[in-house]
């Protein structure tokens, strides 16, 4: 159930009800996620007790972590890749409403509706909107409209000193992988791979995505990621028929082991565009998060993964987390396991797959430049993934 009260009243009712122990009132206010998780962000309450496992100082992130979003903070919508003109007005209105129901004030970049022959806009206007968002002291978070193919056009034109001096949340996925990883590398700022603005326009199946967005961008505590109960491969904009949800069999352990390290990654083919440039983050000491869409076949994923393995510093990779593939990719568990196990460079490091991020619904939010702890037991199930620094 979506919240159906104004943002301020929603937050007051939720916080007040939690303080008074009136959990039923929280449900009535419109929040359908875990109550303690939403308010306190306490990992012990999310996982049934206990305390977060201490992380060795050497494994903690050295990047700047931007301030978390709070109720009534302003979040700016920008279009660093495809233009917002690709969205129907009703999608824009619904996505805006969903963010406002989280207590956020939504504003838009001046040029988000501009478009050209490639459904994008000029480098100059896209850069202007990004710089304006980082420069504006009222803006606390920046959210990409949607992905595309040309975000890497911006990388040489960004003012990384401006970004470094005005750290704030930047979130998006797919083509936004280039922007997020470049900023992490050049400005030393933790960025976030998570839902785009368009993701909030999905008519159904948003609860897991929304909860992950809140945990990572609006709460401080470490949190353990759990598999979603169901998933869907329907287009995000589908509103003409009910979405088809598939029971989730959980994550797959391809190679067992434990790892803690800095998160690098996102969309694999987009990340690979950064190879050999100053915009590629160091892979040394990292836990890689990679995914790809339906256009990528098993053979192409194999080639793209091998290309990343050739990147200097790959020998320092601690573990790999692979997002769920779309049905159209024709990837199967056996093919993916064969790809991973065929590479001697991956021997001895933990690898898990079918994790809830990428181009299917729902999707988690994770910090590029933050810290993840992965524990993959010897067997097909039971993997644990914790976001430590975010």
Known catalytic residues are 174, 291, 359
What tokens appear for 341 in the block?
């196990």
- Both tokens of 39, joined, read 């308010």
DSSP 11: H
Q: How buried is residue 225: exposed, middle or buried, by Cβ count under 10 Å (0-12/13-18/19+)?
A: buried
For residue 330, CA distances in Å to 272, 278, 287, 320, 333 come to: 21, 34, 25, 21, 10
d(CA 320, CA 341): 13
b/e 139-157 (16+ beta carbons within 10 angstroms → b): bbbbbbbbbbbbbbbbbee
Q: How large is the angle between the packed helices 333-341 and 298-309, nearest 10 degrees?
A: 30
In sequence order, what DSSP letters do the residues of 105-173 get, joined into one string?
EEEE-TTTT---TTSS--HHHHHHHHHHHHH-TTEEEEEES---S-GGGGTTT--HHHHHHS--EEEE-
Element (H, E) at 209: helix 207-217
Phi, psi of 247 (to 5 degrees): -55, 135
- Dump the DSSP string for 33-101: S-HHHHHH--HHHHHTSS-PPPPPGGGS--SBPPPPP-TT-EEEEE-SSS-GGGS-HHHHHHHHHHHHT
């Amino acid at each position: 159930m979506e919240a159906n009260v104004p943002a301020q009243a929603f937050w007051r009712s939720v916080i007040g009800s939690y303080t008074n122990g009136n959990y039923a009132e929280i449900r009535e206010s419109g929040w359908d996620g875990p109550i303690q998780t939403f308010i306190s962000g306490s990992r012990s309450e999310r996982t049934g007790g206990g305390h977060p496992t201490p992380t060795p100082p050497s494994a903690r992130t050295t990047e700047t972590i931007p301030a978390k979003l709070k109720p009534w903070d302003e979040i700016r919508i920008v279009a660093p890749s495809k233009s917002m003109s690709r969205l129907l007005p009703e999608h824009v209105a619904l996505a805006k409403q969903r963010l406002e129901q989280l207590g956020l004030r939504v504003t838009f970049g001046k040029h988000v509706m501009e478009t050209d022959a490639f459904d994008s806009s000029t480098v100059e206007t896209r850069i202007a909107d990004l710089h304006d968002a980082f420069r504006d002291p009222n803006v606390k978070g920046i959210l990409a409209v949607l992905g595309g193919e040309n975000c890497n056009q911006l990388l040489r034109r960004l003012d990384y000193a401006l970004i470094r001096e005005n750290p704030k949340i930047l979130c998006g996925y797919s083509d936004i992988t280039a922007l997020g990883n470049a900023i992490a590398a050049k400005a030393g700022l933790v960025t976030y791979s998570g839902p785009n603005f368009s993701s909030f326009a999905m008519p159904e199946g948003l609860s897991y995505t929304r909860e992950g967005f809140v945990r990572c961008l609006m709460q401080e505590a470490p949190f353990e990621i759990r598999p979603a109960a169901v998933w869907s491969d329907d287009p995000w904009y589908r509103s003409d028929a009910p979405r088809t949800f598939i029971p989730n069999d959980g994550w797959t352990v391809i190679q067992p082991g434990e790892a803690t390290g800095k998160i690098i990654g996102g969309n694999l083919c987009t990340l690979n565009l950064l190879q050999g440039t100053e915009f590629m983050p160091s892979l040394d000491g990292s836990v890689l998060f990679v995914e790809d869409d339906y256009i990528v076949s098993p053979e192409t994923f194999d080639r793209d993964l091998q290309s990343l393995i050739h990147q200097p510093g790959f020998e320092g990779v601690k573990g790999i987390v692979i997002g769920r593939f779309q049905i159209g990719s024709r990837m199967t568990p056996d093919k993916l396991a064969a790809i991973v196990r065929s590479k001697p460079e991956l021997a001895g490091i933990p690898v898990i797959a079918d994790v809830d991020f990428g181009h299917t619904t729902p999707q988690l939010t994770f910090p590029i430049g933050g810290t993840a702890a992965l524990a993959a037991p010897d067997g097909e199930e039971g993997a644990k993934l914790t976001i430590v620094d975010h």
